[in-house]
Amino acid sequence: MSNILKGLNEEQKLATMHIDDALLILAGAGSGKTKTLTTRLAYLIDEIGILPQSTLTLTFTNKAAAEMRYRALNLIKNKNSAPPLLCTFHKFGLLFLKFHINKINRDSNFILIDTDDKKKIIKNMNSNLSTHLLSSEISKFKNNIISPIQAKEASKDLIYKEIIKIYEQYNAYLITNNMLDFDDLLLITYQILDSNPLLCSEISKKYNYIMVDEYQDTNELQYKLLQKLCKEHNNICVVGDDDQSIYGWRGANINNILDFAKQFHNAKTIRLEKNYRSTTQILDAANSLINFNTNRLGKNLISMIGDGKDIEIIKSIDERNEALAIAKKIKNLINNGAKLEDIAILFRLNALSRSLEDGLRKENIPYKIIGTVRFYERAEIKDILSYFRLIVNIEDNFSFMRIINRPKRGIGKVTQDKLENFVNQNKLSIYTAIKQHKDEIGISKKHLDTIEGIFDIINELKEILEDSTMGFLEAFKNKIDILDTFNNTDEIDRKANIDEFYGFFRDYILQHPTASLEDFLNDVALSSDGDDDIENAVSCMSVHSSKGLEFKYLFVTGLEEGFFPIISDTTDIEEERRLGYVAFTRAKSELYLSFTKSRFYKGKRTQLRKSRFLSEAGLFNEIPQVDNSLFNRYDLVSHKVFGIGRIIDINKSGPDIKLKINFGGITREILSSFVSKV
């Protein structure tokens, strides 16, 4: 037997040694999926003789990609050729477009914008709708491969038409300014492959063995892109867990993993059910909970660790007492030798974090709220990045308008509007306008001189960069005082952030000596929320943010009906239950589940019932019983929003009844607790 297979269990070995045709590795939480995936990659290269450059391994976050790359390269003995490509979906799109975006007459020197940039562009389009809604809906269109023209044809109401109008304007703005957003990295890659069959075949032959991590999180666009990459072969291996599919709200399609065997012929499924993370007590509760779901492939996690401490239930009068109880338990854990970074508190709703913070502060426990403003989205860091983008592309109007008064230069809004209007009407870059048409713009000589001075600095820094990257950084720090943009009240924090950024830039250059400033900017733009390390603090985060993490001591709060699970007309109770499953399986040794009798939420004190998930997990002997006789097919029922409707079908969903109701020709699925008989 090959040495590379040592340490693998039988199922992991089977998955590793599967060579040709489609393979679904159904990997439960803590079952060693990363080990299996990286070992399989090494096995293909070292034992079978597949060229490393013929493989492509895709995942979702930079952190996951870096971890897999590190593990794989340590396993692979064949170091004689180029390393395998192991990256995020979006990094693959970026690399592809650098070579092939010219196929749609776009310049490869495009600017990759992040979410913050995207929202700023949309905000300037003067819509009455919220920027967040518009940004989200535009993403949904792109990830479902719907163009503005196609969206127009399906427009329904005034709000929908307004969204499509902004989508059209936003797309036109990106094209005019040679910009791409994250969604474009995959959408345009797919469109180029779809419209160029020969290129599609060439790329498919190049990457003859494809592996995908976290397959349950893929959306429609990612699935269609994978189909293109598999055009010339069927060698796709995906790793995922349908029980951890929790991103339906942002486009992930659980059917991609559920229907894998139908979508890729000759597909084989191997289940990894041996768990190396959690105790038997924790897994028994998680298995019991998820078994209430019906839309799943099915598996049962078995603990390789064995028995541990029983799960502890924390019952409190209200959220204040809950926070104090949790803080005191954490204090005891710390006093008994627990490390801060081994402890986490999870909540279904971010609003629940406020009272928890109060409790932790009262006990002087260091904590960090995960999911707040990302480092690269802080104003002072965005300013530096905008300067860097201008140095890469001096005709980047978007970046220039951000830094025109950063640091303060006395150029007011009237002057800025005149400048923007002139370049937009004449379809010019600001740089070209200032160099060739400055007398036509209609702004004062003083301001023209100031703007010319900015471009002189940019060109000077560009020349220094060509000679020395480290010299460029020192010159940049001397010439651009970003701190002068802000008030003095938060100067210490902003200075610390700026210093940290400069330190990171130095490290990046030392680790990537051949990288360009453009490479650095692209890597920063592709960074994600999950890339930050957690040290010397208790972690507080939403259940969504916790996916992929594990903690020795875990507290799950807010386990009440309406809070976890959330109950509404649009609730997918099976996805809520999958969230519960994800939350439970983050715990390694000790799991604490907390509920309260009441909460103060959105200005109102609410009396609550404990979550059904506690009983479904086998922790209370009181699973809510649903009386099927309450509703029958063809009964008339009343809903507070949709009015009178007739039941046309009845389905059990765990302990609930899901009713399919015809409301005047529109069929909706509603939980039975939200309607009453007429």
The 3 state secondary structure assigned to 295-317 is: CCCCCCCEECCCCCCCCEEEEEC
Q: Which of 135-139, 154-158, 414-418, 419-423 has the lowest mean pLDDT?
A: 154-158
Q: Which of 114, 117, 213, 243 is catalytic?
A: 213
Residue 660 has, within 13 A of its CA and on its CB side, a CA count of 8
- Average pLDDT along the chain: 89
pLDDT band at 250 (very low <50, low <70, confident <90, very high): confident
Amino acid 604: pLDDT? 67
Q: pLDDT tens across 322-346, in order? A: 999 999 999 999 999 999 999 999 9
Query: What does the pLDDT average to over 574-591?
Result: 96
Amino acid 653: pLDDT? 55
Query: What does the pLDDT average to over 631-652?
Result: 80
Query: What does the pLDDT average to over 420-442?
Result: 90
Could you write out the DSSP letters of every residue in 550-610?
Answer: -EEEEEE---BTTTSS--STT--HHHHHHHHHHHHTTEEEEEEEEEESEEEETTEEEE--B
Q: Which of 12, 16, 34, 38 is catalytic?
A: 34
pLDDT exceeding 70 applies to what percent of the chain?
A: 94
Tell me if 327 sits within 8 A of 362, measured CB to CB: yes
pLDDT band at 614 (very low <50, low <70, confident <90, very high): very high
Active site residue 244: yes
For the cut 90, the answer to whether the pLDDT of residue 669 exceeds it is no
Q: Which of 214, 560, 574, 616 is catalytic?
A: 214
What is the value of pTM for the model shown? 0.79
Active site residue 34: yes
pLDDT band at 397 (very low <50, low <70, confident <90, very high): very high
Residue 436 has, within 13 A of its CA and on its CB side, a CA count of 9
Amino acid 623: pLDDT? 39
Q: Which of 304-318, 380-394, 505-519 has the lowest mean pLDDT?
A: 505-519
Tell me if 407 sits within 8 A of 481, measured CB to CB: yes
Query: What does the pLDDT average to over 387-391?
Result: 94
pLDDT band at 47 (very low <50, low <70, confident <90, very high): very high
For the cut 60, the answer to whether the pLDDT of residue 532 exceeds it is no
Amino acid 50: pLDDT? 93
User: What whole-number distance in Å separates Cα of residue 521 and Cα of residue 162?
Assistant: 33
User: What whole-number distance in Å separates Cα of residue 419 and Cα of residue 595?
Assistant: 57
Q: Which of 189, 244, 281, 557 is catalytic?
A: 244
Which of helix, strand or coil describes residue 663?
strand
Amino acid 1: pLDDT? 52
Q: pLDDT tens across 534-575, in order? A: 678 999 999 999 998 999 999 999 999 988 998 877 788 999
User: What whole-number distance in Å separates Cα of residue 650 and Cα of residue 633?
Assistant: 7
Amino acid 299: pLDDT? 93
Query: What does the pLDDT average to over 364-391?
Result: 85
Active site residue 224: no
Q: pLDDT tens across 191-230, in order? A: 999 999 999 999 999 999 999 999 999 999 999 999 999 9
Angle at 172 between CA 167 and CA 178, to 5 degrees: 125
- Which residue type occupies 376? Y
Q: Which of 101-105, 204-208, 289-293, 347-351 has the lowest mean pLDDT?
A: 347-351
For the cut 70, the answer to whether the pLDDT of residue 624 exceeds it is no
Amino acid 630: pLDDT? 60
Active site residue 489: no
Amino acid 621: pLDDT? 63
Tell me if 338 sits within 8 A of 553, measured CB to CB: yes
Q: Which of 148-152, 362-366, 397-401, 550-554 has the lowest mean pLDDT?
A: 148-152
Amino acid 626: pLDDT? 38
pLDDT band at 577 (very low <50, low <70, confident <90, very high): very high
Amino acid 489: pLDDT? 53
Active site residue 586: yes
Amino acid 469: pLDDT? 85
Q: pLDDT tens across 453-503, in order? A: 999 999 999 999 998 888 898 999 889 888 777 766 566 667 877 887 888
DSSP 48: I
Q: Which of 55-59, 330-334, 574-578, 649-653 has the lowest mean pLDDT?
A: 649-653
Token pair for residue 359?
A: 């409790």
For the cut 80, the answer to whether the pLDDT of residue 451 exceeds it is yes
Q: pLDDT tens across 130-170, in order? A: 888 899 999 999 999 999 888 887 766 778 888 999 999 99
For the cut 90, the answer to whether the pLDDT of residue 628 exceeds it is no
Q: Which of 140, 296, 494, 586 is catalytic?
A: 586
DSSP 389: H
Token pair for residue 616?
A: 């479904």
Amino acid 627: pLDDT? 41
Q: Which of 58-67, 73-82, 480-489, 581-590 has the lowest mean pLDDT?
A: 480-489
Amino acid 514: pLDDT? 87
Active site residue 406: no
Amino acid 461: pLDDT? 94
Q: Which of 33, 71, 91, 406 is catalytic?
A: 33
For the cut 90, the answer to whether the pLDDT of residue 284 exceeds it is yes
Long-range contacts formed by 427-430: CB under 8 A, 24+ apart:
427/176, 429/394, 429/395, 429/396, 429/397, 430/395, 430/397, 430/400, 430/401
